[in-house]
């Protein structure tokens, strides 16, 4: 279950929504029409949406959604769609969940406010290391830093405020287009997990090896739910019984659970932008709880370490790889 502080976050969502006034009405109706178009993109030519609304949406929003969903179909097959009005820190959020046998599909459309509101958290990414060889992971132990890259594992010692290389253990990577690897700092000396070396990855592949789960790149458990970045490019959500309960678009294949501000959030990369943000989970759906932080290029990896995470990105202009330590400012 979520820690009690998450209830506080939702109360803040509801309070924000309560004071926005009626100025958003037309914007929400436009958003409902836009959401309907996203739903239609998931329907077959002979399918129509059978919509069930949860409490919260006005009749005007429901009507705008219904009008935009209208289509003429001979002998239509009905597809169940659950729609509801939610909230993130940017404003109201209209959500549609398309019920499918192989896993529900989720689409969302937001409506902006006339005035800005503060995010619940401030995500901070601090550069800790950069180099030309591709970085796979970075970990810290006492006064040491370990950098795993495509050439090997290098141990650094802090000397006079600077990191000095102490030793290098060369490695041989499997011939993969997208190499992956992780440092295990709990071992002494720290170990590494690589495809073909260790038990974390599927042999000769960069997917994770976990019995009973489909092939995936990332697996996070949060509030009794499992989120898997699967090979179809989407994030699939499962309940505690491993039953599919949702499918999400918009995230990259890298995310991690982080502990901050008395609760747990998910630090996720964005699929269409060089950025990362924090999310909570409500009704099997991600709710963004921080501003997105831009990165100098595509996110290559996000690994959880302790209560935090390391984000690896490629600087598109400099052609170098950069490692960032993720932290959360709880003062908002």
CATH code assigned at 21: 3.30.160
- 96, 99, 100: which is closest to 108 by C-alpha? 96
Which residue segment(s) compose the domain that 80 sits in?
Answer: 5-110
164 & 283 share domain: yes
In a domain, 234, yes or no: yes
pLDDT above 90 (res 194) = yes
100 & 144 share domain: no
91 & 135 share domain: no
154 & 234 share domain: yes
161 & 102 share domain: no
263 & 304 share domain: yes
266 & 156 share domain: yes
Distance CA 218, CA 144 (A): 27
**Angle subtended at Cα 325 by Cα 293 and Cα 182, rounded to the nearest 5 degrees:** 115
pLDDT reported for residue 332: 54
The count of structural domains within the chain is 2
Distance CA 280, CA 118 (A): 16
In a domain, 116, yes or no: no
pLDDT reported for residue 162: 92
The CA distances from residue 156 to 126, 132, 191, 310, in Å, are 18, 17, 15, 17
243 & 185 share domain: yes
Distance CA 78, CA 12 (A): 37
In a domain, 223, yes or no: yes
Distance CA 248, CA 256 (A): 16
- Mean pLDDT within 324-330: 91
Structure tokens at 40: 């239609």
149 & 258 share domain: yes
- Computed over every residue of the chain, the mean pLDDT equals 85
Q: What are phi and psi of 232, to 5 degrees?
A: -85, 5
What is residue 232's three-state secondary structure?
A: coil
Domain boundary residue, one of 110, 136, 165: 110
Give the contacts of 24 (CB within 8 A, at least 6 positions apart).
91, 92, 111, 113
How do residues 205-251 score in pLDDT, each as one tens digit?
999 989 999 999 999 998 889 999 999 998 999 999 999 888 887 89
- 159, 129, 130, 127: which is closest to 143 by C-alpha? 159
In a domain, 115, yes or no: no
In a domain, 74, yes or no: yes
52 & 189 share domain: no
Q: What are phi and psi of 235, to 5 degrees?
A: -100, 120
Structure tokens at 69: 């969903």
- 189, 197, 169, 180: which is closest to 135 by C-alpha? 180
The pTM assigned to this predicted structure is: 0.72
pLDDT above 90 (res 271) = no
pLDDT band, residue 10 (cuts 50/70/90) = very low
What's the first-to-final CA gap in the chain, in angstroms? 23
In a domain, 117, yes or no: no
């Amino acid at each position: 279950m979520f820690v009690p502080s998450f209830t506080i976050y939702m109360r803040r969502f509801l309070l924000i929504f309560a004071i926005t006034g009626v100025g958003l009405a037309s914007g929400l109706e436009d958003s409902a029409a836009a959401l309907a178009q996203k739903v239609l993109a998931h329907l077959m030519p002979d399918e129509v949406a059978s919509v069930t609304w949860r409490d919260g949406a006005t009749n005007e929003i429901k009507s705008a959604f219904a009008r935009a969903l209208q289509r003429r179909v001979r002998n239509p097959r009905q597809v169940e769609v659950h729609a509801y009005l939610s909230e993130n820190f940017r404003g109201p959020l209209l959500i549609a969940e398309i019920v499918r046998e192989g896993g529900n599909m989720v689409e969302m459309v937001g409506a902006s406010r006339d005035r800005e509101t503060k995010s619940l958290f401030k995500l901070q990414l601090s550069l800790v290391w950069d180099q030309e060889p591709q970085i796979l992971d970075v970990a810290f132990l006492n006064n040491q830093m370990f950098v795993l890259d495509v050439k090997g594992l290098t141990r650094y010692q802090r000397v006079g405020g600077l990191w000095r290389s102490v030793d290098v253990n060369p490695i041989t990577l499997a011939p993969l287009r997208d190499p992956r690897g992780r440092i295990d700092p709990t071992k002494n000396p720290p170990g590494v997990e690589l495809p073909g070396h260790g038990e974390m990855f599927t042999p000769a592949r960069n997917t994770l090896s976990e019995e009973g789960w489909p092939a995936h790149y990332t697996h996070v458990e949060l509030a009794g739910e499992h989120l898997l970045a699967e090979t179809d490019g989407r994030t699939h959500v499962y309940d505690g019984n491993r039953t599919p309960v949702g499918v999400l678009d918009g995230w990259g294949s890298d995310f991690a659970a982080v502990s901050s501000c008395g609760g747990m959030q998910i630090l996720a990369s964005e699929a269409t932008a060089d950025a990362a943000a924090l999310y909570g989970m409500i009704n099997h759906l991600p709710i963004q709880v921080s501003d997105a932080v831009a990165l100098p290029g595509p996110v290559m990896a996000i690994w959880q370490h302790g209560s935090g995470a390391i984000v690896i990105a490629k600087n598109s202009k400099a052609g170098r790889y950069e490692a960032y330590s993720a932290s959360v400012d709880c003062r908002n």
